[in-house]
Structure 1
């Protein structure tokens, strides 16, 4: 199962590995909202025109309002994966990254050292990179704690980099509103996870204006598609859908949690978009669910962990229930 342990969403590989069978595949491997923002199909996009600069300004201003940040400190990028990897050129090492977490965090700055989240507050030299909530265990660090780290005496060349890919479901933990020219704080936000439109490839970097200017120079004139500009701005303005979705995701996560508990599976990490379980042989459970056309996320660095995203429907929840019972 090695090919499935770096990123979720490898559905084509899963179909080749397990066979297609008669059942429609259920992808629980990504931690992405299975109920995407419903307005995308209603928006008219001019595919013949180059993306409009005014549209980019509008998107960034709308997103900034959603994040509680100043638009001058917000830059849209074609997915946070690209934004994170660009940072290594803008903020070179040394650095330390929380582990376990996203594999990208250990690759974005050459020579970055891994450390447990509990050890990060003792670091005073080098840039600190972490996710909040963390992936894959959902661990959350209170904003006040992060700001204490930021304000503690540190090496003059060090930054605090916070990947808030899952923060849209838990906005109270965000430090995006604290980004300022006087703080060595950089925050990343993802659009695709909460809004369920990961294929749009839209994300944001928030930082001091000197950092934002460097991103803009590297990204050039048309960093995003016209579709990303239109869909992103409209979705961030849909306050009614956002409020209802936060409530709905919490309810669906509770239902998944209860199902796992009924099967004696111990949840060791959680977020409204996923549950992390610990079992004796995660590889065997991954394979068993795969044979039932259900894709989950294993981890090569911990053979006891398996992460499950939210099923999109009651039918999906029932199929997961049955697959777990059939073991």
Structure 2
């Protein structure tokens, strides 16, 4: 099922109210401060200079010299990758973000979900989300690199900004490895619709042709160029998120929930009844994420600011 977090419209339709806190995604709710964007970024087509500046900033932030393409969010790459080669047998390490398998099936691939890295070997295309959503499982870069000797592998690092040691980006560029990075999640600007694909020159060239001449708007390129070079903000944000993840876990325990896992941007809990837990939060106009394959898992992002944290505390302690 292609169900997602971020469906705040459904929450409003079901429960009413206008003052919702959307914790159903893993998007940082304390976003990067958006700079003033010149009017030309809205009125002109994006320039090659703007694209090059954003890619240079992304290469520095992700510590790579490999070929790279900016896309309209990591989701755009997830849609394109299944269509740039002949469909075959794909394996997805799950449970995970369901768009990977859905996009592959839509493109004619035979998709099998597996539960361990060794089961990916031998596939025509393998997909790993690292760190994984929704449970935060992570895999060593060396172990993933070994898989590229046997199969083409897509590594989705959309939640990897706070954990740079997990990233394969520094060793990217050889055939057999495609890496996805999301800008909007860590920087809290998902509405920009910006992501990056890192890979070998042939793969990036194919995706570039599919994406067309202007896949990313000029404002997004300018904002990303500034944000990705602001390492002080990134480091401070990572420290804040780690501290707040521990705060969320402590609050969840007061509700009788058990920590399953998560990342610095979201937490996953085992609850007695996930639907009841979601409705409990919804009574306080806090939207969360439950899953069709688990009656007990509930995921929440981290609140943004003191008022949101107080509301979450009231919802869980009440």
Equivalent of residue 83 in structure 1, options 77, 85, 88:
77
- Counterpart of 1:117? 116
- State the 1:45 CA deviation: 4.1
Equivalent of residue 249 in structure 1, options 238, 241, 251:
241
Counterpart contact for 2:22–2:288, Cα < 8 Å:
yes
- Counterpart of 1:176? 169
**Is 1:311 paired with 2:306?**
no
For each residue in 1:276-326, what CA deviation from the matched residue of structure 2 results, as whole angstroms up to 9, or x when unmatched? 001121011111211210100000111110001101122212211211222
**Is 1:105 paired with 2:100?**
yes
The answer for unaligned runs of 5 or more in structure 2 is none
**Is 1:322 paired with 2:314?**
yes
- Counterpart of 1:28? 23
Task: Give secondary structure in 2 for the equivalent of 1:246.
Answer: helix
Quote the Cα distance in structure 1 between the aligned partners of 2:123 and 2:22.
41
Counterpart contact for 2:153–2:176, Cα < 8 Å:
yes
**Is 1:301 paired with 2:299?**
no
Quote the Cα distance in structure 1 between the aligned partners of 2:191 and 2:81.
22
- State the 1:118 CA deviation: 4.8
Quote the Cα distance in structure 2 between the aligned partners of 1:53 and 1:7.
34
Quote the Cα distance in structure 2 between the aligned partners of 1:233 and 1:118.
35
- State the 1:265 CA deviation: 1.2
Quote the Cα distance in structure 2 between the aligned partners of 1:227 and 1:118.
39
TM-score using structure 2 length: 0.94
- Give the root-mean-square deviation of aligned CA atoms: 1.6
Task: Give secondary structure in 2 for the equivalent of 1:32.
Answer: coil
Counterpart contact for 2:254–2:317, Cα < 8 Å:
no
- State the 1:264 CA deviation: 2.3
- Counterpart of 1:14? 11
Counterpart contact for 1:33–1:195, Cα < 8 Å:
yes
Counterpart contact for 2:173–2:198, Cα < 8 Å:
no
**Is 1:163 paired with 2:162?**
no
Quote the Cα distance in structure 1 between the aligned partners of 2:134 and 2:206.
31
- Counterpart of 1:60? 55
Runs of 4+ in 1 over 4 A off after TM superposition: none
What are the within-5 Å matches in structure 2 for residues 190-209 of structure 1? 190-209=182-201
- State the 1:9 CA deviation: 1.0
For each residue in 1:208-247, what CA deviation from the matched residue of structure 2 results, as whole angstroms up to 9, or x when unmatched? 1001111111122111111111011111011111111111
Task: Give secondary structure in 2 for the equivalent of 1:194.
Answer: coil
- Counterpart of 2:261? 269
Quote the Cα distance in structure 2 between the aligned partners of 1:55 and 1:61.
10
- State the 1:61 CA deviation: 1.5
- State the 1:99 CA deviation: 1.3
Task: Give secondary structure in 2 for the equivalent of 1:54.
Answer: helix
